[in-house]
Amino acid sequence: MKILDGKLVSSFILKKITGEVCQLSKKPKLTVIMVGEDPASLVYVRNKKRACEQVGILWEQISLDAKTTTTENLIKEIQRLNSDKQVNGILVQVPLPKHIYLPEVIKAINPYKDVDGFHAYNLGKTVLSMQFEDFAPCTPKGIIRLLEHYDIDVRGMDATVIGHSNIVGKPVSAMLLNRGATVTTCHIDTKDLKNHTNNADLIVVAVGKAGLLTADMVKKEVIVIDVGMNRINGNLIGDCDFEKISKKASYITPVPGGVGPMTVACLMENTLIAYKKQLNQ
Ligand code: NAD
């Protein structure tokens, strides 16, 4: 069994970005909007800030009050950032408070500044083909980068993705399909999950339920990408039974240290791409 070491691979990506940013006289800038103080989001935002500081991308954080912020005034804030030439990337940290309508918020972001890749324009491009994945969402992009680093060619593989969210499950399914895998996407209404995991060569699990994927559900030599992040008794764990599955798997990502750091590295990459696109506009 080999660990797919996201911490290591992300450090290579960050190093490359640092080198590129270093050459730029005007630095790229990422603005993150946070509404409320969701504890997990605070940790993720802190990690993103750290990565920006590491690679030399300018960081701005706008913190809005959860109770008084409405969909309309959040959109106004986004429109202001859309027209601010100093801002290259806009990221709205999710989850948002329930009274804010996320689809309208995402729609308001200029697609050229949409570094999370959640806008319908960028998601649509991601589905089209590999050539149009420049603003693919960061987590799916990070998963693909990790597989590439370890020379894992998914062409012809049977891949099962568990989870069909717009930010992970659907785009990673599309990106695996773009690379020639035969993809099955499972979700909460899937009748018999094990039936779809048993013979899979590659499994991406992105649900948010600890212990969802167990060793009896996977075949020998399977490749497992665990996206899940669950806080159990103060520890961060994924969706799969790492201890038992790692004894059967050929490759597996740890949690923490797998997909998480790859996501942050790809956010830095997307911010640099946004900067370059805006220079050319
Ligand atoms: P989500 O809540 O939007 O989607 C969850 C998905 O799981 C849905 O498609 C749902 O249908 C499916 N699901 C729920 N119960 C299921 C079951 N019993 N069997 C099969 N499918 C089931 O979640 P998300 O935003 O895609 O995130 C998923 C997980 O990944 C969460 O733990 C989240 O914290 C984590 N995450 C990690 C990163 C990272 O960088 N490592 C990034 C994004 C999300």
Q: Whose CA is nearest to atom 13 of ligand 1?
A: 188
Q: Whose CA is nearest to atom 14 of ligand 1?
A: 188
Q: What is the position in ligand 1's atom list of the atom closest to the CA of 189?
A: 11
pLDDT tens track, the chain, 281 positions: 999 999 999 999 999 999 999 999 999 999 999 999 999 899 999 999 999 999 999 999 999 999 999 999 999 999 999 999 999 999 999 999 999 999 999 999 999 999 999 999 999 999 999 999 999 999 999 999 999 999 999 999 999 999 999 999 999 999 999 999 999 999 999 999 999 999 999 999 999 999 999 999 999 999 999 999 999 998 999 999 999 999 999 999 999 999 999 999 999 999 999 999 998 87
Q: State CA 119 to chain mean position distance.
A: 14
pLDDT of residue 5: 98
pLDDT of residue 228: 97
Q: Is the CB of 232 under 6 A from ligand 1?
A: no
Q: How far is the CA of 206 from the centre of ligand 1 (A)?
A: 4
pLDDT in tens, 203-259: 999 999 999 999 999 999 999 999 999 999 989 999 999 999 999 999 999 999 999
Q: Whose CA is nearest to atom 19 of ligand 1?
A: 188
* The length of the chain, given as a count of residues: 281
Q: Is the CB of 190 under 6 A from ligand 1?
A: yes
The residue among 10, 89, 60 whose CA lies nearest residue 264 is 10
Q: How far is the CA of 86 from the centre of ligand 1 (A)?
A: 34
DSSP letters spanning the chain? -EE--HHHHHHHHHHHHHHHHHT-SSPPEEEEEEES--HHHHHHHHHHHHHHHHHT-EEEEEEE-TTT--HHHHHHHHHHHHT-TT--EEEE-SSPPTTS-HHHHHHHS-GGGBTT--SHHHHHHHHH-GGG-TT--HHHHHHHHHHHHTT---TT-EEEEE---TTTHHHHHHHHHHTT-EEEEE-TT-S-HHHHHTT-SEEEE-S--TT-B-GGGS-TT-EEEE---EEETTEEE-SB-HHHHTTT-SEE--SSSSHHHHHHHHHHHHHHHHHHHHHH-
Please, what are the domains in the chain?
A: 26-110 (3.40.50.10860), 137-260 (3.40.50.720)
Q: How far is the CA of 85 from the centre of ligand 1 (A)?
A: 35
The helix-helix angle for 138-149 and 169-178 (nearest 10°) equals 40
Q: Is the CB of 236 under 6 A from ligand 1?
A: no
pLDDT of residue 148: 98
pLDDT of residue 66: 97
Active site residues: 48, 93, 116
In this structure, the strands spanning 182-186 and 230-232 are unpaired
Q: Is the CB of 163 under 6 A from ligand 1?
A: yes
Angle subtended at Cα 273 by Cα 139 and Cα 52, rounded to the nearest 5 degrees? 70
Q: How far is the CA of 277 from the centre of ligand 1 (A)?
A: 31
pLDDT-above-70 percentage for the chain: 100
